[in-house]
Amino acid sequence: MQSSLMRRLSVVDLYLWAFRIVVLVVVVWGMIGTIMARRYPGEVWIDFVVYGLSQGSIYALIALGYTMVYGILRMINFAHGEVFMSGAYTAYFVAAAFGRSGYLDRNPVVSLLVVLAVAMITSTAIAVLLERVAYRPLRGSPRLVPLIAAIGASFFLQYAFRGFFGSGFQAYPETQVLKGTWAIAGISILRTQAVVLVAAVLMMLGLYAFVMRTKTGTAMRAVSEDREAAALMGIDVDRAIVIAFAVGASMAGAAGFLYALVFKQVHFFMGFIPGIKAFTAAVLGGIGNIPGAMLGGLFLGIFESAGPILFLDGLGIVAPYQLKDVIAFTMLVMVLIFRPSGIMGERLVVKKA
């Protein structure tokens, strides 16, 4: 559809090329500037990459929910960021209770696992409820209708949490064991970051196995391939959809816990920006594509942590870190414009998108 537009009107074409070239020039110029300046030694870059990987693995976990729901329903679950936020809030409440009783430091492994489990369960419950109440009645309506409902649900959840738990930041309690750094292969890594990275990777492997190996996972893939045909083969489509929501939400809940672990605070609006970024990651990897979402998340994380210095510092821009989100959003817009099928190249026919 895009190409037919362009062939007819070269002005649009030119404009888009100019857009690409400007972005490319900014990126290259900035990179050259930064590298020539030699202000940042190699260790700093390694830090950026490690930070980006741990941040990106959280994005990847959230992105899985977007990508699974989109794959199966062709719908952007705009409220997914709030599902993530609910996981973080739950993690905060449980961890705070453990922290007060001192259990958190006496038995860190058990308590962190409990926190993780409760966060995942809460997020799953909220997402399943959301699907039942807000989305299921809208099956089969015009495409914008569920999206608008999802936007509504997103703000409803945000402000419900604000009403319940207040509008301030809540401080997530620190675990003694996770303070400080570990040295792995000569690189010192913040312990929380290492935990986040390992946990996220384990979780994603588990999910991948679930989707690829189990019968339920196969059913889900069948439904996302062709809903009518799957129904004819005796697959319960509604159940497959609910499971996609539930599994995606449990990953988001885990991500919420990990996010709280790293940033040590929770807030009712915290789901919005990570949500959008995770969506970016999902699109980047080709929406509907599960390994794509994982890679997209990691890629976006690294891009975002190293990007401001790498691209913008060299241009002499003051306080480039303020523009971190601009980099992520520009990437989002550019992927949507130039490569809506994602960098992994999965061809998902967006007929009448």
Question: Can you give the binding site for other proteins, defined by CB under 8 A?
Answer: 1-2, 5-6, 8-9, 12, 15-16, 19, 75-76, 93, 133-134, 137-138, 141, 143-149, 151-160, 162-166, 238, 272, 276, 279, 283, 317-320, 322-323, 325-326, 329-330, 332-333, 336-337, 340, 350, 352-353
- In terms of Cα–Cα distance, which of 308, 319, 309, 305 is closest to 40? 309
User: Beta partners for 266?
Assistant: 170
Give the residue with the Cβ less far from other proteins, 149 or 220. 149
Give the residue with the Cβ less far from other proteins, 54 or 245. 245
Expressed in angstroms, the distance from the first to the final Cα of the chain is 11
The secondary element (H helix, E strand) that includes residue 171 is strand 170-171
8 A C-beta contact, residue 162 and residue 268: yes
Give the residue with the Cβ less far from other proteins, 253 or 320. 320
- What's the min distance (Å) between Cβ of 209 and other proteins? 30
CA angle 261-265-269, nearest 5°?
Answer: 120
- What's the min distance (Å) between Cβ of 96 and other proteins? 9
8 A C-beta contact, residue 269 and residue 35: no
- What's the min distance (Å) between Cβ of 318 and other proteins? 5
Give the Cα separation of 203 and 220 in Å (integer).
18
User: Beta partners for 171?
Assistant: 265
- What's the min distance (Å) between Cβ of 9 and other proteins? 5
Give the residue with the Cβ less far from other proteins, 201 or 276. 276
Give the residue with the Cβ less far from other proteins, 191 or 339. 339
- What's the min distance (Å) between Cβ of 14 and other proteins? 10
Give the residue with the Cβ less far from other proteins, 204 or 283. 283
- What's the min distance (Å) between Cβ of 208 and other proteins? 25
DSSP 314: G
Residues whose CB is less than 8 angstroms from the CB of residue 216 and which lie 6 or more positions away in sequence, other chains included: 210, 240, 243
